[in-house]
Amino acid sequence: MKKFTTTLILLLFTFITFSQSEFNASGYNVTGNDLTINTYSKDSTANALVIYEFGNSYFDQEDFRLKTEVKRKIKILNRDGFDEANVSILLYKNSDSKEEITRIVATTTNINSNGTLDIQKLDKSQVFTEEYNDNYTLVKFTLPNIKEGSVIKYSYKLDTPFMFNYRQWYFQTDIPTLYSEYHASIPANYEYNIKLVGEIPLSVNTSDTESECLKTSTGAKADCFKSIYIMKNIPAFIDEKYMTTRENYISKVEYELKVYKSFDGGIDNITRSWKTTDKELKTEKGIGRQLNKGSVVKDLLSKEITNEQDQLKKAKAIVEYVQSNYKWNKKFNVFGDVSLKDLVKNKVGRASEVNLLLFNLLKENNIDVLPVLMSTRGNGFPTKIFPVISEFNYIIIQAKIAGETYFLDATSPYLSFGQLPYRCLNQYGRLLDLKNGSYWVDITPKSNFSISYKVSSIINDKGSINGSIEYRATGYNSSDLKAAYFKNKSSYKTNYQNENTNITVTNHEVKTTSKNSDDFKEVVSFEVASETIGNSIYVNPFITTFFDENPLKLQERTYPIDFGYKDSYTYIYKLEYDSNLYEVTEIPEIKKLQLPNGTGVLILNTTKNDSEIIIYFKFNFKEAIYNQNYYPYLKEYFSTIVDLQKNSLIILKKK
């Protein structure tokens, strides 16, 4: 570790401090304000802040390799931000060549108690390299002497021979960024598909051409396409509920090599068209060759199924057969070593094998089916403008029966017919019609799903309440419940009591008898003691709740709120009482709240007569996906739901 201590005249330091009112986001140099300002006004929760960062990618004239220079200046606001001093950089390699990193320079700047600056530099011996996996090496270093208020800087240069691996640039990270600038220079003989991801607008997005930026010893020349991207005041990207993978939304620019034109006139089309890709998929071992395996599936089904004349009933029976007899091993591989023979033999296989078995069984029974390539929610959206086969990690089956279209999956015995796993609700997929040409299809649930409670109760002369809860969940709301119940019925009921300690369960009956039922139903009988203060009895009508806390907690969200499906929630509570014993002194107030454009409605209504009180509470989400502009309204919506469940009261007074 090298240590440099610089003494500044206090007056000079004071002048620097007062001459600025904000962090220095205009350059790489550390200023007085960078050191003395220890909060970020736009995000009070931030633990660290990127003040300034700069990247520049270009093709080197000397060795014709791609170089990327990176500079980054970060303010450590508190101890929870110390992790920003741990820097890791992945370098790609293969059997022939590898990426390299050079010119690593890093410093930590602090203010001593006597007003002097303490600047400590990273020593080369503190840079470590380790094998990450077969294709990547990891370079790591940690900046020295980190404290609350430190400003760290680091820079390095990347060198790659892999022209397809033009560096993507992330404007947005887990901490806020004040200023991010990226320059990209691309010779005309390299053609890339360039994709800007994220919803945050660029402050600068310019392009220009530099003449003859690249020359060879033979006299060949190429112009360069130069781009400059600048983004300012970028909020941190923080994962929250109701989202797909962050790679779909985090602000970045990324590149996919499309065409390479050599100086001798040769053209290499790196990115194929879908027409070309369809032809290749016909003979691909993982898909094409598995689409005609009638001999493998012959005689698997019973005569009862194959002789069924109603095509819909037959399809349902085939799906249930695969669900019941073959198990998914939790692997997602679509391409490569996919074998239906192995699945039939071992009864366990990949998702693609399970669903391709389903495809062949349906096809052999004269049901109109086609496979659909897709990417799961955790894997990201596949690119639509050109085929990137590596972006797909899953296969489902489209079936057309009696004029209706169904999307089918057989990886879980708890899915009802036509219901895809939640992981598949990722908006769209590529339907592989290898005869007529593939095309994109929307993947959205047709049905609206629901959760409902109907609570009937009566209060006796001692203030105790007993009653019953009728519960019903449909679609995706029921899948986990069916899985938990049918895997271990006694454990399910024990867990129910353990999770609902506010009541005493006197009887518990599950009405659902089939694993792949469309819904889950149960009836619970209960007893609960009410709270008595003096002559007043306080009753919380919400024996159970939909949400115990608000799932939306961010100050700002820059990506959509993706529920995956439309949903509604209903809670009806009836309390019977003896008007000779009790006088009702308070009931919950009527409440109504709407989301913008009628995309959701919340209602709490209360009615009372001489013998009973009825509370009707309902809210819904009429959209499966809301863009980020709805975030503050949804946040208030959830807050109201939680507040009403916690703070609604019925107060009875003993006569």
Is CATH 2.60.120.1130 the right assignment for the domain spanning 449-654? Answer: yes
- Encoded tokens for 610: 């001489």
Specify the pairing of strand 612-621 against strand 348-349. Answer: unpaired
441: left (phi over 0), alpha (psi -120 to 50) or beta: beta
CA distance 66 to 166: 7
pLDDT at 14: 38
Residue 163's pLDDT band (cuts 50, 70, 90) = confident
Residue 189's pLDDT band (cuts 50, 70, 90) = confident
2-16, 137-151, 222-236, 289-303: which range is least confident on average? 2-16
pLDDT digits (tens, 9 = 90+) for 316-365: 999 999 999 999 999 988 887 888 999 999 999 999 999 999 999 999 99
Q: Are 57 and 167 in contact (CB under 8 A)?
A: yes
From start to end of 434-581, where are the E strands?
Answer: 439-443, 449-459, 464-474, 504-510, 519-529, 531-533, 536-539, 561-562, 567-576
Angle at 273 between CA 271 and CA 278, to 5 degrees: 120
Q: Are 582 and 463 in contact (CB under 8 A)?
A: no
Instruction: Tell me phi and psi for residue 283, to 5 degrees.
Output: -110, 5
Which CATH number fits the domain 2-268, given the four candidates 2.40.50.140, 3.40.640.10, 2.40.10.220, 2.60.40.3140? 2.60.40.3140
- Encoded tokens for 64: 């014709």
DSSP state of 423: G
pLDDT at 294: 86
CATH code for residues 274-443: 3.10.620.30
- Alpha-helical (H) ranges within 405-511 are 476-487, 489-499
Q: Are 234 and 153 in contact (CB under 8 A)?
A: no
CA distance 382 to 416: 26
pLDDT at 21: 54
Q: What is the pTM of this model?
A: 0.87
CA distance 183 to 596: 40
Contacts of 86 (CB under 8 A, 6+ apart): 140, 142
pLDDT at 338: 85
CA-closest candidate to residue 527, choices 464, 469, 577, 582 = 464
Give percent above pLDDT 90 in the chain.
Answer: 78
- Number of neighbouring beta carbons within 10 Å of residue 298: 11
pLDDT at 284: 80
* Domain layout of the chain by residue ranges: 2-268, 274-443, 449-654
Share the mean pLDDT of the chain: 92
pLDDT digits (tens, 9 = 90+) for 73-103: 999 999 999 999 999 999 999 888 999 999 9
DSSP state of 350: -
